[in-house]
Amino acid sequence: MSARHLAEAVRSGARSARSVLDEHLDAIAAREPEIHAFNVVLADEARVAADEVDRRVAAGEDPGPLAGVPVAVKDNMCTRGIPTTCSSRILEGWIPPYDATVVERLAAAGAVMVGKTNLDEFAMGSSTENSAFGATRNPLDTTKVPGGSSGGSAAAVAAGFVPLSLGSDTGGSIRQPAALCGVVGVKPTYGAVSRYGLVAFASSLDQIGPFARTVSDAALLLEVVNGHDPLDSTSIPETPADLTSVLDRGVEGMRIGIIEELSGDVLEGIAGDVRARLGEAAAALEAAGATVETTSVPSTVYGLSAYYVIAPAEASSNLARYDGVRFGLRVDAPTSGDMHTATRTVGFGDEVKRRIMLGTYALSAGYYDAYYGKSQKVRTLIVDDFARAYGRYDLLLSPTSPTTAFDLGEKTADPMTMYLTDVCTIPSNLAGHPSMSVPFGVGDDGMPVGVQVLAPAMGEPAMFRAAAVLEAAAPPGAAS
């Protein structure tokens, strides 16, 4: 049953929030040991929350649009009184004194949080193998990765542990795992969803967004968490558009461009089965009344290179606060300098250290202009090229991931190969635009393929309209 229907059943009294929760906790108990989607399951806290929803329904109150719906939250979003680890030893023992804005909005909507999900440490990774607490496995084939960095959130939805979850997306960390797990994943416009309480990786790129099994449920969750927040200085002040009311409007008359640089004709590494599904998705949109043609967004080919300077540079700055004094882990040593070094050596994993070093180098005297400054100029080129494309097209289309889910351990020895898995998703982060992954059939290995729908800033309504068309036309997905 969809999240929307579950909430309707609970609000009407046809179902109790407690019974809904118990079903999902049973599912977690059955498969969580093999999948490891969660860093912590909050069964007792969830039962208290579910009982409060049932009390409110019995009293004639409306608990909200997500009444009694179990949700999971990526473990880089602050939760008052509940550990927030970012899947890193450096935050061992840290318990936030406040909730992230999105967590508050979930509770206000009547959602029941059942746990915090696993991720690549500090959201740095594309496979959820970089967690200090062990890898998450893809529920559709546990020999394969779920994608990353929000792999736990994607796996939790794909496994049926929860109907909805939240992840964060800095370079594809919602959309790529959504594609690999066969669920819907949305990166909203930068600033559409508050980042207050999201532990920062790269502040000009990070964005919170939903995972769901259906486009309609993703729209519902995004409507709950989006909107202006005065606690986030980058929050967009405009009232967000209604999304659920536009899902049945179709794409008649829309102009949609397939980005040739990301479709395989220019970019190497896009698998043949992924390209085939993209072509079928384009045909489905054309059959629904859209004009679909190939177009060029030239500078997207430089997105990966620019991202892996800008994001590590911002990470180097943001992660400087983890010094053994203010948060989490502290490794004692004779001097404060030695203590800082020992704490960060033990507390951070290899990938986080790699990116901190990359970023520090890019920001260092003598190299700033050559690397960071030049990457920001490339970012401007990407923004300008997208602006020209959106002058001709309402939406753009590309694969979400170059391939279907790969084997656990397949890419961990070669960071560059791992980074290439985000080549299609990174440009939207650099531009600050919304994009989403919609499941569209399977590859030759029977694993899901995701098609990415891209839109200009604040273009979520048109994006969701196209996503709904793709969902209705999609060939059968992977068996769970």
Q: Any idea what the Cα angle at residue 392 is, between residues 387 and 393, rounded to 5°?
A: 90
Neighbours of 357 (CB within 10 A): 12
> Where in 9-55 does DSSP place strands (E)?
38-41
Angle, helices 460-473 vs 215-225, to 10°: value is: 160
Percent of the chain as helix, strand, coil, to the nearest 5: 45, 15, 40
Select which of 173, 263, 299, 435 is catalytic. Answer: 173
What's phi and psi for 38, nearest 5 deg? -110, 145
Q: How wide is the angle at C-alpha 52 spanned by C-alphas 48 and 54, nearest 5°? A: 120
Q: 355-361 long-range CB contacts below 8 Å, 24 or more apart?
A: 355/124, 355/311, 355/312, 355/315, 355/316, 356/312, 356/315, 356/316, 356/319, 358/308, 358/309, 358/312, 358/313, 358/316, 359/309, 359/311, 359/312, 359/313, 359/314, 359/315, 359/316, 359/317, 360/316
CA–CA separation, 102 vs 80, rounded Å? 12
Number of neighbouring beta carbons within 10 Å of residue 454? 30
Question: Of 74, 116, 187, 411, which residue is the catalytic one?
Answer: 74
3-state SS assignment for residue 188: coil
Contact 82, 42 (CB under 8 A): yes
As given in the structure block, the two tokens for residue 135 are 């890898």
CA distance from start to end of the chain: 15
**Which H or E element spans position 398?**
strand 395-399
Which residues on neighbouring strands pair with residue 141, listed in sequence order? 138
Catalytic, 88? Answer: no
Give the Cβ contact number of residue 153 at 10 Å. 39
Residue 398 falls in the annotated catalytic set? no
The rounded distance, in Å, linking the Cα atoms of 468 and 288 is 11
**Active-site residue, selected from the candidate residues 149, 165, 235, 263:** 149
Catalytic, 173? Answer yes
- Tokens 């309609």 locate to 216
78 bridge partner residues: none
Structure tokens at 361: 């180098």
- Report the DSSP pairing between strands 291-295 and 435-442: unpaired
Please name the residue that has the structure tokens 């992840």: 167
Active-site positions read 74, 149, 173
